[in-house]
Structure 1
Amino acid sequence: MTDSVPHPGERPTRKRVNHYGTGRVALLDAAVRVVARGGLRKLTYRAVAEEAGVTHGLVVHHFGSRDALIEEAVTHAIRASLHSSALDIGTGRAADFAGGLPDMVDSGPELQAFQYELLLEARRRPELLAHLRALYEEYFQASARELDRILPGTVSRGLSRLVFAALEGLVLHQLVFGEREVTEEALGELRALLEARAAEG
């Protein structure tokens, strides 16, 4: 950080420090953090600008409307979570299933909290539901693809959704209670069940 040199009689001024960057992704990350801390009602251009260390006008320039900011932040959060969860790694081995889940929660708790905040808000604001459902389909499909690789035959939608619900519950509990070891134990049990079902087939 550098200070400007003051003229005689002027107070020194400091340059504004931007800890997160000014790009679109940095602004989306800032929006995620704002919502994770204070809920969707706290999401304003000014709050995002302050969190990112940029001007209010830059946020307006990138997104144009609050709804566009919300939609892009949801997409960003789910894609980032999918990438870090290793949910769809393609090995076809039950022992590898959801291997990145505990790390995903530890490394990005704001992403997870943001998504849960949006899910709850969608009950009050139905206009959010269609967008959230479309994006959650990415989670459902990633889980179903990996189960199809692990298990013989066709995996039913009910089984796929049951497994995903277990994973989502583990994420929520680790996020709230911080018990990573419980998540890992539960994932071990889930993998054992998948291995047993694969062996039956």
Structure 2
Amino acid sequence: MTESAGRRPRKRVTYGEGREALLDAAVRVVARGGLRGLTYRAVAEEAGVTHGLVVHHFGTRDALIEEALSHAIRSSLSSSDLEPGTGRPEDFSHGLTEMVDSGPDLQAFQYELLLESRRRPELLSHLRALYDEYFAATRRELTQMLPGPVDEGLSRMVFATLEGLVLHQLVFGEREVIEDALDELRNVLRLLARERDGK
């Protein structure tokens, strides 16, 4: 028997890699069609597995959404160099544009969920908890970079700038313009560090 046209062949996956593959598939489904298109069957078809496997791994659609969001944010944090740990402005968010180019679905997925949370407030607590990871990573890196205390307002402003640049690259492309904007942000951080240091 042959596979139906347009269907992916089913494959055997191990527990760990299967879960990761299903999360990646969920991210792609939402990035392309919004949260309303996220069904067990859509994820299973995208991953090339049975829908029963999706049910087995996640149990509920809400659990799938929550874990896919956590997966997307972990992946973004690890690939963006948001927190390189060096405390040097030139290293800050060095991998941001590459992250968008290599994983646009991860970013689109997060924006889809942010917008969907306006219609489904029950998503907001999950988003807030996971975005707190972004805010904390930004603040930790700024604390290494800048003399004196870094308040929440400054760290949120810097993160909002980065998030806006990611959105613009995702929608408009223009990687070179985004790289220029990131260089300007790093220059502002250098100036702020010098000013706080009294030099």
Q: What TM-score results when the alignment is normalised by the length of structure 1?
A: 0.91
Equivalent position to 1:59, from 40, 43, 54: 54
Deviation at 1:156, TM superposition (A): 1.2
Q: Deviations over 1:163-190 (max 9, x none)?
A: 0000000000000001111110000000
TM superposition outliers: structure 1 runs of 4+ over 3 Å: 12-15, 17-22
SS in 1 for 2:56: helix
Structure 2 portions without partners, runs of 5+: none
What is the CA–CA distance in structure 1 between the aligned matches of 2:70 and 2:161, rounded to whole Å? 22
Higher alpha-carbon Rg? 1
Measured in 2, the distance between the counterparts of 1:195 and 1:85 equals 20
Who is 2:134 aligned against?
139
2:144 corresponds, among 135, 143, 149, to: 149
- Distance in 2 of aligned mates of 1:125 and 1:17: 33
Range with bigger deviation, 169-178 or 13-22? 13-22
Q: Which position in structure 2 is the counterpart of 1:89?
A: 84
CA distance in 1, matches of 2:144, 2:22: 37
Q: How do 1:1-201 residues align onto structure 2 when only pairs under 5 Å count? A: 13=2, 16-18=9-11, 23-201=18-196
Report the RMSD for the aligned CA atoms in angstroms: 1.7
The answer to whether the 8 A contact 1:105-1:112 is kept is yes
Unmatched segments (≥5 aa) in structure 1 = 1-11
Contact kept, 8 Å, 1:20 with 1:52, in 2: the verdict is no
Q: Which residue of structure 2 aligns with residue 4 of structure 1?
A: none
Contact 1:119–1:132 (Cα < 8 Å) also in 2: yes
Asked whether the 8 Å contact 2:11–2:48 carries over to 1, the reply is yes
| Percent sequence identity over aligned pairs | 73
Aligned length: 190
Deviation at 1:20, TM superposition (A): 8.9
